[in-house]
Structure 1
Amino acid sequence: MKKLLQFVIKFYQKHFSKKLARNCLFKESCSNYVYRKLEEEGTKKGLKAFYYRFQTCRVGYTFSFNTANNNFDIILENGDVLLNSEISESIELPNFSLEDYLK
Protein backbone atom coordinates (compact mmCIF):
# COMPACT_ATOMS: atom_id res chain seq x y z
CA MET A 1 0.00 0.00 0.00
CA LYS A 2 2.82 2.38 0.91
CA LYS A 3 4.56 1.88 -2.45
CA LEU A 4 1.29 2.42 -4.32
CA LEU A 5 0.65 5.70 -2.50
CA GLN A 6 4.21 6.85 -3.17
CA PHE A 7 3.78 5.99 -6.87
CA VAL A 8 0.55 8.02 -7.01
CA ILE A 9 2.28 11.00 -5.36
CA LYS A 10 5.24 10.85 -7.79
CA PHE A 11 2.82 10.56 -10.74
CA TYR A 12 0.87 13.58 -9.45
CA GLN A 13 4.07 15.59 -8.96
CA LYS A 14 5.32 14.78 -12.45
CA HIS A 15 2.10 15.31 -14.39
CA PHE A 16 -0.22 17.60 -12.41
CA SER A 17 1.49 19.41 -9.55
CA LYS A 18 2.77 22.42 -11.50
CA LYS A 19 -0.48 22.77 -13.45
CA LEU A 20 -2.64 22.67 -10.35
CA ALA A 21 -0.29 24.53 -8.02
CA ARG A 22 -1.78 27.34 -6.03
CA ASN A 23 -0.39 29.53 -3.30
CA CYS A 24 0.27 26.98 -0.61
CA LEU A 25 0.60 28.10 3.01
CA PHE A 26 3.21 25.51 3.81
CA LYS A 27 6.87 25.77 2.88
CA GLU A 28 7.04 22.03 2.24
CA SER A 29 4.47 21.09 -0.41
CA CYS A 30 1.68 18.79 0.67
CA SER A 31 2.74 16.04 -1.71
CA ASN A 32 6.37 16.20 -0.48
CA TYR A 33 5.20 16.24 3.13
CA VAL A 34 2.93 13.21 2.70
CA TYR A 35 5.59 11.34 0.71
CA ARG A 36 8.13 11.99 3.47
CA LYS A 37 5.71 10.86 6.17
CA LEU A 38 4.98 7.67 4.22
CA GLU A 39 8.69 7.00 3.86
CA GLU A 40 9.63 7.79 7.47
CA GLU A 41 6.60 6.66 9.45
CA GLY A 42 4.57 4.28 7.29
CA THR A 43 1.19 4.14 5.61
CA LYS A 44 -1.01 5.02 8.59
CA LYS A 45 0.95 8.17 9.47
CA GLY A 46 1.20 9.10 5.79
CA LEU A 47 -2.56 8.92 5.39
CA LYS A 48 -3.03 10.98 8.57
CA ALA A 49 -0.59 13.56 7.18
CA PHE A 50 -2.57 13.71 3.94
CA TYR A 51 -5.84 14.18 5.82
CA TYR A 52 -4.36 16.92 8.02
CA ARG A 53 -2.95 18.86 5.08
CA PHE A 54 -6.17 18.47 3.10
CA GLN A 55 -8.21 19.79 6.03
CA THR A 56 -5.94 22.80 6.74
CA CYS A 57 -5.14 23.86 3.19
CA ARG A 58 -6.29 27.47 2.76
CA VAL A 59 -9.61 26.99 4.53
CA GLY A 60 -9.00 30.08 6.62
CA TYR A 61 -6.20 31.58 8.61
CA THR A 62 -5.14 34.72 10.41
CA PHE A 63 -1.78 36.35 10.89
CA SER A 64 -0.41 36.62 14.40
CA PHE A 65 2.60 38.74 15.35
CA ASN A 66 4.95 36.75 17.57
CA THR A 67 6.74 39.21 19.85
CA ALA A 68 9.16 36.51 21.03
CA ASN A 69 10.87 36.33 17.64
CA ASN A 70 9.59 39.52 15.94
CA ASN A 71 7.94 37.50 13.14
CA PHE A 72 4.48 36.76 11.84
CA ASP A 73 3.03 33.31 12.28
CA ILE A 74 -0.20 31.97 10.82
CA ILE A 75 -2.99 30.63 12.97
CA LEU A 76 -4.94 28.02 11.03
CA GLU A 77 -8.70 27.74 11.31
CA ASN A 78 -8.36 24.64 13.50
CA GLY A 79 -6.17 26.59 15.98
CA ASP A 80 -2.82 25.11 14.96
CA VAL A 81 0.03 27.59 14.59
CA LEU A 82 2.18 27.62 11.46
CA LEU A 83 5.50 29.18 12.47
CA ASN A 84 7.14 31.76 10.24
CA SER A 85 9.83 29.23 9.28
CA GLU A 86 7.11 26.86 8.01
CA ILE A 87 5.28 29.43 5.86
CA SER A 88 5.73 29.29 2.11
CA GLU A 89 7.60 32.12 0.42
CA SER A 90 4.58 32.58 -1.87
CA ILE A 91 2.50 33.95 1.03
CA GLU A 92 2.82 37.69 1.47
CA LEU A 93 3.24 38.40 5.14
CA PRO A 94 2.35 41.82 6.51
CA ASN A 95 5.25 44.27 6.50
CA PHE A 96 5.51 45.00 10.19
CA SER A 97 8.06 44.82 12.96
CA LEU A 98 7.94 45.17 16.74
CA GLU A 99 9.76 48.49 16.44
CA ASP A 100 6.92 49.79 14.23
CA TYR A 101 4.40 48.71 16.86
CA LEU A 102 6.28 50.43 19.70
CA LYS A 103 6.57 53.77 17.90
Structure 2
Amino acid sequence: MAISKQYLKTKPVCKVTFTVPADEATKVAVVGDFNNWKANKASSLKKLKNGNFKGTLELPKETSFEFKYIIDGNYVNEAEADRYQWNDYAGGENAVLDL
Protein backbone atom coordinates (compact mmCIF):
# COMPACT_ATOMS: atom_id res chain seq x y z
CA MET A 1 0.00 0.00 0.00
CA ALA A 2 1.16 3.51 -0.61
CA ILE A 3 0.14 7.13 -0.28
CA SER A 4 1.58 10.00 -2.29
CA LYS A 5 0.88 13.67 -1.58
CA GLN A 6 1.05 16.56 -4.04
CA TYR A 7 0.55 19.99 -2.51
CA LEU A 8 -0.95 22.54 -4.89
CA LYS A 9 0.44 26.08 -4.85
CA THR A 10 -2.68 27.61 -6.39
CA LYS A 11 -5.23 26.05 -3.99
CA PRO A 12 -5.28 25.23 -0.27
CA VAL A 13 -5.54 21.50 -1.04
CA CYS A 14 -3.35 18.44 -1.35
CA LYS A 15 -3.90 15.78 -4.00
CA VAL A 16 -3.58 12.48 -2.18
CA THR A 17 -3.16 9.34 -4.28
CA PHE A 18 -3.98 6.02 -2.61
CA THR A 19 -2.55 2.81 -4.12
CA VAL A 20 -3.63 -0.57 -2.77
CA PRO A 21 -2.22 -3.86 -4.08
CA ALA A 22 -5.20 -6.23 -3.97
CA ASP A 23 -5.02 -8.67 -6.91
CA GLU A 24 -7.83 -10.88 -5.64
CA ALA A 25 -10.17 -8.05 -4.59
CA THR A 26 -13.16 -6.94 -6.62
CA LYS A 27 -13.87 -3.66 -4.82
CA VAL A 28 -11.70 -1.23 -2.83
CA ALA A 29 -12.69 2.14 -1.36
CA VAL A 30 -11.04 4.65 0.96
CA VAL A 31 -13.25 6.01 3.74
CA GLY A 32 -12.59 8.39 6.60
CA ASP A 33 -13.32 11.69 8.29
CA PHE A 34 -13.17 13.41 4.90
CA ASN A 35 -16.26 11.57 3.56
CA ASN A 36 -18.16 10.64 6.75
CA TRP A 37 -16.89 7.05 6.46
CA LYS A 38 -19.18 6.43 3.46
CA ALA A 39 -18.07 4.20 0.59
CA ASN A 40 -19.43 5.76 -2.59
CA LYS A 41 -18.42 6.37 -6.19
CA ALA A 42 -16.06 9.22 -5.21
CA SER A 43 -14.26 7.05 -2.64
CA SER A 44 -13.96 3.94 -4.81
CA LEU A 45 -10.51 3.14 -6.14
CA LYS A 46 -10.10 2.02 -9.75
CA LYS A 47 -8.62 -1.40 -10.47
CA LEU A 48 -5.56 -1.27 -12.72
CA LYS A 49 -4.29 -4.00 -15.04
CA ASN A 50 -1.41 -4.77 -12.65
CA GLY A 51 -3.91 -5.71 -9.89
CA ASN A 52 -3.50 -2.51 -7.87
CA PHE A 53 -6.38 -0.23 -6.99
CA LYS A 54 -5.69 3.49 -7.30
CA GLY A 55 -7.51 6.77 -6.73
CA THR A 56 -6.84 10.43 -5.97
CA LEU A 57 -8.71 12.78 -3.64
CA GLU A 58 -8.24 16.52 -3.12
CA LEU A 59 -8.19 17.19 0.62
CA PRO A 60 -7.70 20.44 2.59
CA LYS A 61 -4.11 21.23 3.62
CA GLU A 62 -3.03 21.58 7.26
CA THR A 63 -5.58 19.01 8.39
CA SER A 64 -5.45 15.46 9.75
CA PHE A 65 -7.87 12.71 8.76
CA GLU A 66 -8.53 9.25 10.16
CA PHE A 67 -9.17 6.71 7.41
CA LYS A 68 -9.24 3.05 6.39
CA TYR A 69 -9.62 1.06 3.22
CA ILE A 70 -12.60 -1.19 2.63
CA ILE A 71 -11.37 -4.19 0.64
CA ASP A 72 -14.28 -6.45 -0.35
CA GLY A 73 -16.15 -5.43 2.82
CA ASN A 74 -13.20 -5.71 5.23
CA TYR A 75 -11.70 -2.64 6.92
CA VAL A 76 -7.92 -2.46 6.49
CA ASN A 77 -5.40 0.12 7.74
CA GLU A 78 -2.75 1.71 5.53
CA ALA A 79 0.64 0.25 6.42
CA GLU A 80 2.43 3.50 5.45
CA ALA A 81 0.11 5.89 7.31
CA ASP A 82 1.60 8.99 8.90
CA ARG A 83 0.50 7.62 12.28
CA TYR A 84 -2.32 5.66 13.94
CA GLN A 85 -5.08 6.89 16.26
CA TRP A 86 -7.16 4.80 18.67
CA ASN A 87 -10.88 5.09 17.97
CA ASP A 88 -13.30 4.00 20.71
CA TYR A 89 -16.24 3.77 18.29
CA ALA A 90 -14.36 1.36 16.02
CA GLY A 91 -12.69 -0.42 18.92
CA GLY A 92 -9.32 -0.24 17.19
CA GLU A 93 -6.78 1.98 15.52
CA ASN A 94 -7.39 4.00 12.39
CA ALA A 95 -4.70 5.14 10.00
CA VAL A 96 -4.09 8.91 10.07
CA LEU A 97 -3.21 11.15 7.15
CA ASP A 98 -1.46 14.40 8.14
CA LEU A 99 -1.55 17.06 5.44
TM bracket (short chain): under 0.3
Please, what TM-score do these two structures have when normalized by structure 1?
A: 0.25
Larger helix share, 1 or 2: 1
Bigger radius of gyration: 1
Please, what TM-score do these two structures have when normalized by structure 2?
A: 0.26
